[in-house]
Structure 1
Amino acid sequence: MPQLLLELFSEEIPARMQGGAARDLERMAADRLKAAGLTYEALTTFAGPRRLTLVVEGLPAATPDREEELKGPKTSAPEQALEGFLRKTGLTREQLVERDGVFFAMLSSKGQRTADLVPAMVDQIVRGFPWPKSMRWGTGTLRWVRPLKRIVALFDGAVVPFDIDGIASGDVTEGHRFLGSGRPFAVKDFADYRRKLEAEHVLLDAADRRLRILEAAQKVCSNRGLALVDDDGLLDEVAGLAEWPTPILGDMDPQFLDLPPEVVQLSMKVHQKYFAVRDPATHRLAPHFVVVANVEATDGGRALAAGNSRVLSARLNDARFFWDEDRKPGNFDAWLKKLEGVTFHAKLGTMAERVERIAALAREIAPLVGTDPDQAEQAARLAKADLASGMVGEFPELQGIMGGYYARADHGDAVADAVRDHYKPQGPSDAVPTAPLTVAVALADKLDTLVGFFAIDEKPTGSKDPFALRRAALGVIRLVLENDVRFDDFETSIQDWIGEYFAERRALPGFAAADAADFAKLRARPEVADARWVGAEYDSRGVVQALVAHSTPKDILAFFADRLKVLLRDQGKRHDLVDAVFALGDDDLVRIVRRVEALDAFLATDDGANLLAGHRRASNILKAEAKKGELPTGMVQTGLPGQPEAETALAFAVGAARTAVDAALEREDFAAAMTALAGLRAPVDAFFDQVMVNSEVPAERENRLKLLGQVRDVMGRVADFGRIAG
């Protein structure tokens, strides 16, 4: 079947935009082909430094003819309704079909040639392309990331003719800017296009460019007995900078290796896009680097390497200046003073105020994680100081890391490690700190962020999370779970923290200056509507107290529940099990996860699956009876005349299970609690097989409803089984 080939050739596309551009091109082309009624076998996109390419395989030569029946108004409908339907369909009344008192229009349309649909599709894609930044050039109105030069548009080997702002489509493209022949060349189809590009020193696929860089870089290093420092992010970036990437090994002045290795690597990466190199014997950085050129130098790259070495030396000299200045005595006090003038958030005060909050919170958390409160407070006070340092001002990515270096000499390794690692974990693959002092400061940092932004109603909405609160919550969860941190009452703790940080200050920072609209918005919230107010003027302290008493702790716990579901789902756990456990009102994250794991294992057994079915059946009966009136409660009677054996057996089994479950939950042995529930499976099955719940004898019916209520109650001590699907 025919193939569509499209190339949009321009000046250099920024590397950071190429991956997104390829995905956007794929999405936009797929949407427009579908809207046109065109099916295809495969659609692939490529992005590189100067071109976006689309190839669609297996397109039909034309769209199919269409027959459509469109339902209209009733024959008895007003004349205006019929006239509107006729205008919509373009038919006359005589062309309509009457059936069962309704008008129908029979519409037919001839298929269109695919080649005739391509121009409009490409025009829409080009004019509506969502570049993060775009530009105009010349006298036209077209916007593109950089000036658009050529358009290749071939369908079934023939040029699809069209014009976009004076740029005519054709079958001609260009090769490498320096290594190519310098002459434009024509292509026939995708295979010919790709082959000729490679002959002109252009690797079309970013995956091919990455592989070429990695293999060649490793080779030039191994030739000198060195090893490349892996950096997937940098590899992706440089693959977008060169159409024919050529790694070259360069030398750097060894004196710079006395700088922290993170500084050296970041100087190479951020400013120069160089790969660092290490000595395989010592695993330390070696005085070399790998630069990826876009040319094949005739001298083997010696001149290029020498030039890049001079540039790197200039960068590292700047870094050495910051390093020396930042290590002068008294800098921590000066930096903390500077933070008094740095706004963290208009409604949450300065960075210095945030440091005070984190320090106070770290002191409270310290006993929970088994570390010294005084040391936790000290580490927390130092944790943000390096934000005012020269090095972090130049390299924001080094925040925390540099603070750890600067703190080590005067404050010891434990405090320095806490300062260095308190931002961790920053992502799902980031390591979780385990040192108790670091855990205390890391938890305080993330909890302050969550509590503060939730208290001022800056919660994530949809895909927007400008303050990275989802990441902070996931960080708290991982710190708590992997270090077995236990909060006796997490919700109360959150409420206390809000009260300590905000309510006692008479107002949230920034709220005192809030205008009437801000106040009206807060006061209108349902959860603060019942708060007590003094006079007609707003009392920001009252707002805070209302938030403390009502929504904020619950909102944060619900947020943690959502994040925990994400984490457990990634681990293969079911989110409905998290719901079933959270419904118990427990807010100890460690205990919740242990319950979920035990519940998951239990439901994977036959006993668990069958008992779940029994619980559902009992609940349905009880719900139906509850609609008729209040359900009976109290002691279940046994040994009644004519009482079925299965009823008596279930009553005794429920009593035994309740005792065993309560004992197991008390010692947090959730596997044992599930084992106790498993003992109910056979009695419950026998009860439903042999006993009629809705007996015509009122006393029997009441006793059996009580018994089902007790079954539901004892199972509900472990989890809310009504929230479990399947």
Structure 2
Amino acid sequence: MTDFLLELRCEEIPARMQLKASEDLARLFTEELARAGLKPAAIDSFVTPRRLALVARGLPLETAAVSEEHKGPRTSAPPQALEGFLRKTGLTQDQLEDRDGVWFAVVNKPGRATMDVLADAVPAVIRAFPWPKAMRWGVASQTTESLRWVRPLQGIVAIFGEQLVDIAVEHVRSGYATLGHRFHHPGAITIGGADDYVEKLRACHVIVSHQERQAIIAAKAAQAAAAHGYTVIEDKGLVAENAGLTEWPVPLLGDFDPAFLEVPPEVIQLTLRINQKYFVLRDAAGKLAPAFICTANIEAKDGGAAIIAGNRKVLAARLSDARFFWEQDRKTALADHAQKLGRITFHEKLGTVADKVERVAKLARWLVEEGIVKGADADLTEQAARLAKADLVTEMVGEFPELQGVMGGYYARAEGLPDAVADAIRDHYKPVGQGDDVPTAPVTVAVSLADKLDTLVAFFAINEPPTGSKDPFALRRAALSVLRLVEVNKLRAPLKSIFHHSHWYGLVMSSLLDSARKNQGMGLRAEDRNFREEYENGKRVLYYADTVIDVSDWIRRSSYDDSINFENDPVGALLDFFADRLKVQQREAGVRHDLIDAVFALGGEDDLVRLLARVHALQSFVATDDGANLLAGYKRAANILKKEAVDPAIVPAAPSEPAEAALLAALDAAEPLAARAVTDERFADAMAALATLRAPIDAFFESVTVNDADPAKRGARLALLDRVRAAVHGVADFSKITG
């Protein structure tokens, strides 16, 4: 068995593409070999900024002869079908086998030299390589058929054992030579084969293993920080990125003027990390340290002093810009910043960010006044909602969009606004992802919930729900965030009531109408004295002079986008959407989706806290013997009732069997207990009441014939089973439960 080395050398590969490219090279190469019947014992992959490489271990000198069997048409098929099959296999009819009226072809392929297979495979891999972005270069780039690569391809090393595999890809021909480090060893290196590749390059200041470079960066950065009493803020993504920028990584510690620490720490961290690719440090007290670690690509003769000085100078300019933004933004009050939100379009059909802020402020206040979010001051909540998006127009957020909300919180605190307002501005986007913290401060909860609910209703109102894998407005994430806010804070939030909150919902519809008027024109202007709008019974009514404008009729007659339909209430679709998101969330938490279906199937349950309490009690119950047996009895009763419905015209007879009477007595006792428990939201007690039906139901089915010849007896027994089903449905629809 022999090893094969392949190196593809080019100009610098972007760091973000390297690891995926290394995986793709191994995958494509393995697939090409598999087509020829070869399977390496193992593949080692390497990547640096200037090269992709792999070593395929344990390849035979030649492929084994293989016999392939192909099934063809029936012997009675038209001649054209047989001719096509013969062309495909390259055989003649007398070489086919007739097996029970079907033609079969057995094609014997002789073995090939592995060198020949490799010579064909490598160019195929290069030409099929799936770079996210690629380029053409040189004279060959005048045609679209020329080679495309991430950066100009400069060299190919392809050695099988000790033999060179002759490969030519346009202007590049394979050889034994590669290049070492761009500065430490820019000359050619002769590679003898797979066994000496890694160490020869290491001797020339190139570490070909991305993982090894990451380990070096992490370890030496920690050592450099510790030598000055600092610790590195863990950032695995930045470690990987620096490993993708260097072939010989050398972490170096530098410092910056402590005066810059007056700028919010998040700004400094982003400046260091995003702009400069530096590691951020903390001091012994856990505060941001006035120092950084950069990763050089050389071992400098002066120990890196000049490199550190250059990086310090660049960083000082960056931090000076950040400090300027911080100082300039604070000269304007947040309320004045908020006045500029009308210049930013939220969505072409939903108006501006200022329109959204108005809606969110109304809803957030209502959530507090209705007692859905308890413990919040309504005035502070509305103030926070009106200022929550103000930092979108600041210089700092323009430079660092990642800091929206965060900077608003800092500006609010610097302005002397109440802490509850500043905290709500800072955290109202949370929770952003599954692992993000969930706000619990009442004002923050109200603003965050209102912001996300407004987004969901607005986009469903314009018929822009997520489809398949597409979710351009992150509505799935918004719904999951709502669910987490409700669950963590135990909010008694009836979704239907919230969605139909008249004034806020009217504002959503108003935004649609205003956008429709703006885009299509109704011959109306807000400043027209004859035009006015009023709210009557919570609904927006438009007047022109004394004539009521029928918005729905206008929308139907206009040529405006049909996706805006004022007649279709999006609430039903939105509730279904929440049900689906709840299943996803609870499945990850270990809750069975069929149990959620069983509760949702009852209809009218839109209080998520109550719904989840019911689901959790149901899951505990069905896991017990009583629950499993009651479920079996319920399903037997339900199946009978599918075939034999209760006939209201038949007067039921009195119970004639002991088991029948026992079940009737058990129902008389259990039904009111279960109903009261459900009303009081004691769902475990409701399940316990239903559990008392288990034995009577079992005994009933063992000794009672439901479909008695006597219609009165049959009617009584069917009515009894109907009561069983109804009693169970008071808690959940057991027909939705699997198993």
- TM-score range (shorter-chain normalised) is 0.7 to 0.9
Alignment check: 8 A CA contact 2:30 2:39 kept: no
8 Å CA contact 2:335, 2:387 repeated in 1: no
Q: Distance in 1 between matches of 2:68 and 2:126?
A: 32
Instruction: Give the letter for the 1:564 counterpart.
Output: L
Does 1:679 find its partner at 2:692? yes
Residues 1:108 and 2:112 aligned together: no
Shifted more, 19-28 versus 370-379: the winner is 19-28
CA contact (8 A) 1:339 1:385 kept: yes
Residue 640, structure 1, aligned to residue 638, structure 2: no
Aligned residue among 665, 690, 703 for 1:652: 665
Is 1:239 the counterpart of 2:243? The answer is yes
Contact 1:89/1:105 (<8 A) preserved = no
The equivalent of 1:301 in structure 2 is 304
- Is the alpha carbon distance of 1:133 and 1:308 closer, same or farther for their aligned partners in structure 2, counting shifts above 3 Å? same
1:22–1:47 contact (8 Å) kept in structure 2: yes
Residues 102-137 of structure 1: CA distance to partner in whole angstroms, max 9, x if unpaired?
332233231554554444444343323332322111
Q: Are 1:503 and 1:544, in contact at CA under 8 Å, matched by a contact in 2?
A: no
Q: Deviations over 1:503-550 (max 9, x none)?
A: 3457162575269xxxxxxxxxxxxxxx9746972386997564543x
> What are the ranges of 5 or more consecutive residues in structure 2 without an aligned counterpart?
141-145, 522-550
Residue 218 of structure 1 aligns with an amino acid whose one-letter code is: A
How many angstroms apart in 1 are the aligned matches of 2:175 and 2:691? 73
Could you say if the C-alpha distance between residues 245 and 333 of structure 1 is closer, same or farther in structure 2, counting changes exceeding 3 Å?
A: same
**Residue number among 162, 167, 188 corresponding to 2:167 in the alignment:** 162
3-state SS in 2 of match to 1:108: strand
Structure 2 Cα separation of the partners of residues 511 and 155 of structure 1? 72
Task: State whether residues 96 and 103 of structure 1, in contact with CA within 8 Å, keep that contact through their aligned partners in structure 2.
Answer: no
Matches within 5 A, 1:140-151: 140=140, 141-151=146-156
Q: Distance in 2 between matches of 1:474 and 1:577?
A: 19
Percentage identity across paired residues of the two chains: 51
TM, length-normalised to structure 1? 0.87
In 1: Cα distance, 2:632 partner to 2:56 partner: 50
Which residue does the alignment assign to 1:217? 221
Counterpart of 1:584 in structure 2 is: 602
Measured in 1, the distance between the counterparts of 2:29 and 2:567 equals 48
Is the alpha carbon distance of 1:473 and 1:221 closer, same or farther for their aligned partners in structure 2, counting shifts above 3 Å?
A: same
Shift, 1:464, TM fit: 2.2
* Structure 1: gaps (5+ residues): 516-530
Query: Judging changes above 3 Å, is the alpha-carbon distance between structure 1 residues 595 and 181 closer, same or farther for their aligned structure 2 residues?
Result: same
Give the aligned partner of residue 477 of structure 1. Answer: 483
In structure 2, the CA distance between the partners of 1:78 and 1:47, relative to structure 1 (3 Å rule), is same
What's the secondary structure of 1:594's corresponding residue?
helix
Distance in 2 between residues matched to 1:58 and 1:615, nearest whole Å: 62
Q: What is the correspondence of 1:193-232 to structure 2 with a 5 Å cutoff?
A: 193-232=197-236
* SS at 2:289 equivalent: strand
- Residue of structure 1 aligned with 2:326, choices 323, 335, 348: 323
Q: Whole-Å Cα distance in 1 between the matches of residues 57 and 261 of structure 2? A: 53
Give the aligned partner of residue 192 of structure 1.
196
Q: Per the alignment, do residues 343 and 121 of structure 1 end up closer, same or farther by CA in structure 2, a change over 3 Å counting?
A: farther
Matched ranges for 1:680-699 at <5 A: 680-699=693-712
Instruction: State the match for 1:312 in structure 2.
Output: 315
Where does residue 538 of structure 2 map in the other structure? none
1:494 and 1:135 map into 2 onto residues whose CA distance is: 54
> Which one-letter code corresponds to 2:592 in the other structure?
R
1:459: Cα distance to partner? Answer: 2.2
Mapped contact 1:335–1:389 kept (Cα < 8 A): yes
1:365 aligns with 2:380: no
The 8 Å contact of residues 598 and 670 in structure 1, kept in 2 or not, is answered as yes
State the partner residue of 1:430.
436
In structure 2, relative to structure 1, the CA distance for the partners of 1:685 and 1:231 (3 Å cut) is same
Code of the residue aligned with 1:316 in structure 2: it is L
Residue identity matched to 1:332: L
Q: Which residue of 1 aligns with 2:526?
A: none
Correspondence list, 1:167-182, <5 A = 167-180=172-185, 182=187
Distance 1:116 1:385, change over 3 A: same
**Amino acid corresponding to residue 559 of structure 1 in structure 2:** F
> CA separation of 1:677/1:171 partners in 2, compared to 1, >3 Å: closer, same or farther?
farther
Q: Deviations over 1:141-187 (max 9, x none)?
A: 21222112223334566544322222223454333323347332315
Contact 2:156 2:172 in 1 (8 A): yes
2:352 counterpart of 1:346 = no
Tell me the amino acid that sits aligned with residue 263 of structure 2: L
Q: Secondary structure at the match of 1:201?
A: coil
Preserved contact between residue 555 and residue 565 of structure 2 (Cα < 8 Å): no
Alignment correspondent of 2:125: 125
Structure 2 letter corresponding to 1:276: V
**Contact 1:633–1:706 (CA<8 Å) still a contact in 2?**
no
Establish whether residue 11 from structure 1 lines up as the match of residue 11 from structure 2: yes
1:564 aligns with one of 571, 582, 602 = 582
Distance across 1 between alignment mates of 2:106 and 2:5: 33
Using the TM superposition, give the Cα deviation of residue 293 of structure 1 relative to its aligned residue in structure 2, in angstroms: 1.2
Residue matched to 1:382: 387
Q: Match of 1:184, SS?
A: strand
Q: Tell me the CA shift for residue 38 of structure 1.
A: 4.9
**Structure 1 residues 274-302: Cα deviation after superposition (integer angstroms, max 9, x where no partner):** 1121112x211122111111122232222
For residues 45 and 646 of structure 1, the distance between their equivalents in structure 2, rounded to whole angstroms, comes to: 73
CA distance in 2, matches of 1:535, 1:263: 47
Q: CA deviation at 1:13?
A: 1.4
**Letter of the aligned partner of 1:445 in structure 2?**
D
User: Distance between the aligned counterparts of 2:335 and 2:240, measured in 1?
Assistant: 40
Aligned to 2:496: 490
Q: Distance in 1 between matches of 2:32 and 2:497?
A: 50
Partner SS state of residue 323, structure 1: helix
- The match for 2:542 is none
Aligned partner of residue 369 in structure 1, secondary structure:
coil
Answer whether contact 1:379 1:419 (CA < 8 A) is retained: yes
- Residue identity matched to 2:19: G
Partner of 1:68: 69
Instruction: Determine if contact 1:9/1:52 at 8 Å carries over to the other structure.
Output: yes
Matches within 5 A, 1:80-91: 80-91=80-91
Does the CA contact (< 8 Å) of 1:507 and 1:541 recur in 2?
Answer: no
Deviation (angstroms), 1:97: 4.2
Q: 1:395 aligns with which of 392, 396, 400?
A: 400
Deviation per CA, 1:195-249: give whole Å up to 9, x if none.
Answer: 3333333333333222221211111111111222222332232222122222111
What's the TM-score, normalizing by structure 2? Answer: 0.86
CA 1:381–1:498: 2 relative to 1, 3 Å? closer
Q: Provide the residue aligned with 2:143 in structure 1.
A: none
State the AA in 2 paired with 1:363: R
Distance 1:212 1:505, change over 3 A: closer
CA separation in 2, counterparts of 1:662 and 1:136? 74
SS at 1:471's partner residue? helix
Partner SS state of residue 375, structure 1: helix
Does the CA contact (< 8 Å) of 1:636 and 1:651 recur in 2? no
